[in-house]
Amino acid sequence: MPENCALQMDGVNVFYDDFHALWDISLEVKRGEIVSIIGSNGSGKSTLLNAIAGQLSPRSGVISYFGETISGLQPHETVAKGIALVPEGRRVFPRLTVFENLLMGSYTPKARQHTQKSLDNIYALFPRLKERSQQMADTLSGGEQQMLAIGRALMSEPQMLLCDEISLGLAPIVIKGIYQNIGQINEQGLTIILVEQDITRSLKAANRAYVMLEGKVVLAGSPADLTEERVKAAYFGI
């Protein structure tokens, strides 16, 4: 069973100093699924991803990845295990080129062995990046930076990809393209967790979804279960 359960969170509580950001979070993601986490600003979605990635440590509760406990690991250690986070706001390295950014993605010793192959895959997935490979990352458009951020995360050869608000600030047609890429990535076997404010888009792409409000999971189910009324009610805390 653990081999099928990519991520399991049990009663996870996360604090920022004294602020209780995540309350008793329990959820699970199966291998190969695309799971959406939706909620308004401040509902704790990004905190959730940061906790999984290791940027934050839970004060209590357990996070396991394919059966292995990862709560409390540092970010560079979770990357080595196969979890990659595409951070909110993209956060590409502005003073490095596209190529160098991607190279940074394969920093871990394991990934470094297949750098060239990974690069070829990324360039195949995102041809635009290949065109701009020698350009400084801060000269790219928003959509291109998003592709770069995703590509960079993929360079570490993850089995699970965490995407934090990848549609933020992008034009609808660009978002459509990005989500197509997400679909392709998922077909290649990656488990994906999508955190979004854009409900429609992320529900369309997902197998299952969780709705969060003020640091708690308030609703869960498949997109069919989650009708518009139910989601709106949960989203706004009605």
Partner 1 sequence: MEGLIQDIVNGLLLGGLYAIVAIGLSTIFGIVRLVNLAHGDLMILAAYLSLFMVTSLGISPLLTMFAIIPVMFAVGYVLQRFLLNRVLGKEMEPPLLVAFGVSIIVQNFMLMAFTPDARSLMSELSLMTFPLGPDLSIPVLYLIDFCIALAVIIGLHYFLQNTYMGRGIRAASDDPYAAKLMGINTQNTYAVAMGLAIMTAGVAGVLVGMTFTFYPHSGPQYLIIAFGVVVIGGLGSMKGTFVGGLILALAQILGARFFGPGYQLLCGYVVLLIVLAVRPQGILGRG
Helices (H), 44-93: 45-53, 75-81
Selection from 83, 78, 125 nearest residue 102 by Cα:
125
Q: Which stretch binds partner 1 (CB under 8 A): 61-69, 85-93, 212-220, 224-232?
A: 85-93
The binding track of 150-169 with respect to partner 1, each residue x by CB under 8 A or -, is --xx--x-------------
Non-local CB neighbours of 102 within 8 Å, separated by 6+ positions: 119, 122, 129, 133, 148, 151, 152, 155
Q: Which stretch binds partner 1 (CB under 8 A): 65-73, 82-90, 116-124, 169-177?
A: 82-90
215 belongs to the binding site for partner 1 (CB under 8 A): no
Q: What does DSSP say about strands 60-65 and 68-69: parallel, antiparallel, or unpaired?
A: antiparallel
Q: Which stretch binds partner 1 (CB under 8 A): 79-87, 120-128, 197-205, 222-230?
A: 79-87
| CA atoms within 13 A of residue 74's CA, in its CB half-sphere | 2
Binding residue (CB under 8 A) for partner 1 from 107, 177, 181, 223: 107
The nearer residue to partner 1, 72 or 127, going by C-beta atoms, is: 72
**Residue in the block written with tokens 């592709």:** 147
100 belongs to the binding site for partner 1 (CB under 8 A): yes
Asked if residues 86 and 163 have their Cβ atoms less than 8 Å apart, the reply is yes
Q: Which two tokens stand for residue 5?
A: 């359960």
Binding residue (CB under 8 A) for partner 1 from 39, 44, 58, 87: 87
The nearer residue to partner 1, 86 or 211, going by C-beta atoms, is: 86
The contact set with partner 1 (CB under 8 A) reads: 53-55, 74-76, 79-80, 84-85, 87, 91-96, 100, 103-105, 107-108, 111-112, 152-153, 156
